[in-house]
Structure 1
Amino acid sequence: MALYAIADLHLSGSSQKPMDIFGSHWFLHHEKIKENWLAHVTDEDTVLIAGDISWSMKLNEAIVDLDWINNLPGRKILIRGNHDYWWSSISKLNSLYEEMHFLQNNFYTYQDYGICGSRGWICPNDYKFTKDDEKIYLREINRLKFSLEAARKHHHQKLIVMLHYPPTNDLHEASLFTRLFEEYEVEKVIYGHLHGEESYHGGLKGIVNHVEYHLVSCDYLDFKLKKLLE
């Protein structure tokens, strides 16, 4: 049983939005992901998918992309990204598939770990952080804390967090997210959202204050899944 992670699948089975407009390396990127997935993931494994799953605007349009993921091996745990407008009520989503679990204000168990998370938001910075940004930022902090508390109540001492947005600004300054990770002694944090060589450096990576950070945007990973645990 292994644990993998990836973000920003940006599937477009119904919307037909080609991703290669963002660079030739995105050409047929879903096939690259599928090839790597089939080569490494078994039905006993779990894959964390950290947002920006489908370009569809409505759930009935996104089903083709969700089915595509569901047909791949393994159990999947998904969070919402900023482009996942199709994301509907969590109870409805969690009624769709047996081996796909949607994370929002809750947690899931992987071995002796609690898998927690929220979408996240942009962190305070010197470029653009409005009152509206602050409101969403604080809301996402509360959602993450709710998720962490739920895992703790079920006696999970080991915690892994999924975000879509990076947990800091591009200067890697401490945020309410990083402070929450340290308060709850989170072991690993995965996130996506960042695309392109100029953006990758803006993501916190490696071990900082005993928390291990992983950027798992699919283009950063060369469209390969990141193995987090054996």
Structure 2
Amino acid sequence: MRLFGIGDTHLPSTRQKDMHRFGWTDHPLPLQRAWDEMVRPDDVVIVAGDISWATRAHEVMDDLAWLDARPGRKLLVRGNHDYWWGDSASKLRKLLEPFRTLEAFLHNSAAVMGPWVIAGTRLWTAPEAPPMPGGEMGDEPVNDGYVERETRRLATSIEDAKKKEAASRTPLVRVAAVHFPPLYANEKPTAFSEPIEAFKPKVCVYGHLHSTGIPAGFTGERAGVRYVLASCDAAGFKPMLLDEV
């Protein structure tokens, strides 16, 4: 069984958002072809935020159906553009019910998917972030209130992961899944990287960064954690292999 990650699918929703102007030619067809070729039905795929351009639940259904049609069991993470997600876990669970392979999501919680226990949340732009491009596909401004809230949500998710790990009859591999980068190329510790590294996941997958902003994210190993940037364009429009057991 394999674990994959892909972020920032930016599916068009009923609003028919055009990605050509960002240089994403024929999106999402290249991603669809690669996903269908690489991923098997029993594999797990983390979708690391910015799933759809939909702003309301009724606008996202075709995009969720598109994800459901791709092979693999999916876990969803919220991104800063996922306005359709809402603030109610019960409503989100109800929304995902028709889609058999959309098995789990992170919402102040963790999830066990096969041999992996996965913790995470959306995060936000950390004060330690270097200057990056703004705009529709760019970074968000630093907001201390958002950072504090996401720090609390991350802590809640990690605690839930530890509880699920303790209750499991078999050993689980720890994974962190977020949307914003928890650590940047400057390697300055953030309010997000420190609890993640204390959690000691085998891998931390994130997205959010695009185009000229891609080099701003830290990738590679630090403090025993392998950081993987899996936004669609950074990943070459194909799911990235995170782990295999």
TM score, norm. by length of structure 1: 0.92
Q: Which residue of structure 1 aligns with residue 195 of structure 2?
A: 180
Please identify, of 163-172 and 30-39, the stretch whose mean Cα deviation from structure 2 is larger.
163-172
Q: Give structure 2 stretches of 5+ with no counterpart.
A: 133-139, 167-171
- 1:66 aligned residue: 64
Q: Does 2:148 correspond to 1:138?
A: yes
Worse overlay, 48-57 or 162-171:
162-171
- Tell me which residue corresponds to 1:99: 101
Query: Displacement, 1:158?
Result: 3.1
Distance 1:214 1:144 in 2: 18
SS across alignment from 1:47: strand
2:125: which partner in 1?
122
List 4+ stretches of structure 1 deviating above 4 A: none
Q: What is the alpha-carbon distance in structure 2 between the residues aligned to residue 41 and residue 182 of structure 1?
A: 28
Counterparts of 1:74-89 in structure 2, within 5 Å, are 74-88=72-86, 89=88
Q: Which position in structure 2 is the counterpart of 1:158?
A: 173
Q: Secondary structure at the match of 1:176?
A: coil
Q: Secondary structure at the residue paired with 1:86?
A: helix
Q: Determine the C-alpha separation between the residues in 2 that align with 1:82 and 1:45.
A: 26
Report the Cα distance in structure 2 between the residues aligned to 1:31 and 1:154, rounded to whole angstroms: 37
In terms of mean alpha carbon deviation, does 3-12 or 149-158 score higher?
149-158
* Residues 125 and 141 in structure 2, CA contact (< 8 A), matched pair in contact too: no
Count of residue pairs brought into register by the alignment: 226
Letter in 2 for 1:92: K
CA 127–47 in structure 1, closer or farther in 2 if over 3 Å, else same:
closer
Q: Name 2:89's counterpart in structure 1.
A: 90
Shift of 1:85: 0.6
Contact 2:7 2:50 in 1 (8 A): yes
1:115–1:159 CA contact under 8 A, matched in 2:
yes
User: Is the Cα contact below 8 Å between 1:103 and 1:117 reproduced in 2?
Assistant: yes
Q: What's the offset of the Cα at 1:164?
A: 0.6
TM-score (norm 2): 0.87
1:110 aligns with 113
Considering only aligned residues, what root-mean-square deviation do their CA atoms show, in Å? 2.0
Asked if 1:193 corresponds to 2:208, the answer is: yes
**Retained in 2: the 8 A contact 1:192–1:216?**
yes
Q: What is the CA deviation profile of residues 17-61 of structure 1, one whole-angstrom value per residue up to 9, with x for unaligned ones?
A: 1111112xx011210111011101121111000000110110101
Contact in 2 for aligned 1:13/1:65 (Cα 8 Å):
yes
CA contact (8 A) 1:107 1:114 kept: yes
Question: Shift of the alpha carbon at 1:2?
Answer: 1.1
Percent same amino acid among aligned pairs?
36
Query: 1:11 corresponds to which residue?
Result: 11
